[in-house]
Amino acid sequence: MRRTRSLTMVDIAKHSGVAVSTVSYALSGKRPVSAETRERIQQAMEELGFRPHEPARALRSRFSRAISLFFPTARDELQIESHIILSGALEATSEFDYSLLVSTATHDPSGIVATLETGRADGVILMEVRMADERVDKLRADGHPFSLIGRCEDNEGISYVDFDFEDAVRTAVHHLYELGHRHVVLLNRAPSIGGVDYGPTVRSQAAFQSALKELSLAGDHLLCGTSGAQYIEVLRFLERAPTCTAAVTLSVTYAPLLAALRDLGRRVPEDFSVVAIIASQIADLVTPPLTTIDMPAYEMGRLGAEILIRRLTDDELPPSQLLLRGPLQVRSSRPPPRRSRS
């Protein structure tokens, strides 16, 4: 079966009595082809079941019509948001009739540049972007097309989609303040994810500190992985800080928190309130239903791919910079328990 030489445009051309170039033009529309001829060609293609050979196209035209998403892969720690972003990117990519290549993200830029320079992809999407990111510097310096899920400190000329973590944290803290909480903890992602300079971590912390100051609140900041052991740390903290009645959690850091609270016999939301900054698809799985600020991960993936592809197809297009916000959905946050103030 498979060893039958596959059909080429030459076959289609012969079968419909035109030149190969005419077949090509009929397919691409880059030059006019009479309705009658196009019809004949189309019919021949369907009859014979022709599919243009992609590598040949790519070789000649210098465009692969593919983009590559550099994906942070980790065997054990689940980066759920990244996965949802990937789904979104996949949707957009296939809508634009592009292919999506997924590559393993590395810290250094050489693999990324290789993907571009070998002609495997026309552009790349980067995730887990740091405030200062050498991958970005390199791509920018070389003039390669790319877009970011996330953003750097300096985003001059760069296309990105990011979630406004600063706004989210501010909103969360204000919400808790208004409920009456006076001591709040921020569970931020550990540097094992994205590194020390990881944008969301840095920005969340800054926004947290400034909100505390503004509202004259007591607050603590915990860096927190999701591995089982990490929950001990949270537990210790809660024991040490009995006045702390609420938390803002980023991504899946809600998990060790809920585990620790349960082991301390503190109920959510009666004894402790949580605002989780997290994608809705994950929040839906959590019991009790948490108050959340929805991080629209799917949309971010969609847009990240879209703004990249648009720029690929239109040289003139200026970079898009999108900063998304998520709604606060109040579910199980409550005023703090009345304490015996004696």
254 CA to centre of own chain: 19
Helix residue ranges per DSSP H, the chain? 9-16, 20-28, 35-48, 54-61, 80-95, 110-117, 134-142, 165-179, 199-215, 230-240, 254-263, 280-283, 297-313
Residue 289 in contact with its own copies, rule: CB under 8 A: yes
Residue 1 in contact with its own copies, rule: CB under 8 A: yes
- In whole angstroms, the minimum distance from the beta carbon of 14 to DNA comes to 10
Residue type, 55: P
* Between 66 and 176, CB nearer to its own copies: 66
Q: Which span sits near its own copies by CB under 8 A: 32-40, 140-148, 165-173, 201-209? A: 140-148
* Between 156 and 316, CB nearer to DNA: 316
How far is it, in rounded angstroms, from Cα 164 to Cα 183? 23
* Between 10 and 206, CB nearer to DNA: 10
**Options 8, 37, 42, 58; binder of its own copies; rule CB under 8 A:** 58
**Options 53, 213, 236, 262; binder of DNA; rule CB under 7 A:** 53
Q: Within 10 A of 248 (CB to CB), how many other CB atoms are there?
A: 31
- CA angle in degrees (0–180, nearest 5) for 150-152-153: 140
**Site residues for its own copies, window 11-50 (CB under 8 A)?**
none
Residue 102 in contact with its own copies, rule: CB under 8 A: yes
Q: Which span sits near its own copies by CB under 8 A: 39-47, 130-138, 141-149, 161-169? A: 141-149
Residue 59 in contact with its own copies, rule: CB under 8 A: yes
Residue-wise over 101-112: b if at least 16 C-beta within 10 A, else e?
A: bebebeeebeeb
- In whole angstroms, the minimum distance from the beta carbon of 41 to DNA comes to 9
| DSSP track, 313-333 | H-TTPPPPEEEE---EE-SS-
Q: DSSP label at 340?
A: -
**Options 2, 3, 5, 75; binder of DNA; rule CB under 7 A:** 5
Given a contact cutoff of 8 angstroms between Cβ atoms, the answer to whether 128 and 300 are in contact is no
Q: Work out what residue 193 binds among DNA, its own copies, none; the CB cut-off runs from 5 to 8 Å by kind.
A: none
Applying CB under 8 A, the residues found at the interface with its own copies are 1-2, 6, 51-56, 58-59, 64, 66, 71, 73-78, 80, 83-84, 86-88, 90-91, 94, 99-104, 114, 117-120, 142-144, 226-228, 252, 255, 258-259, 262, 280-282, 284-289, 298
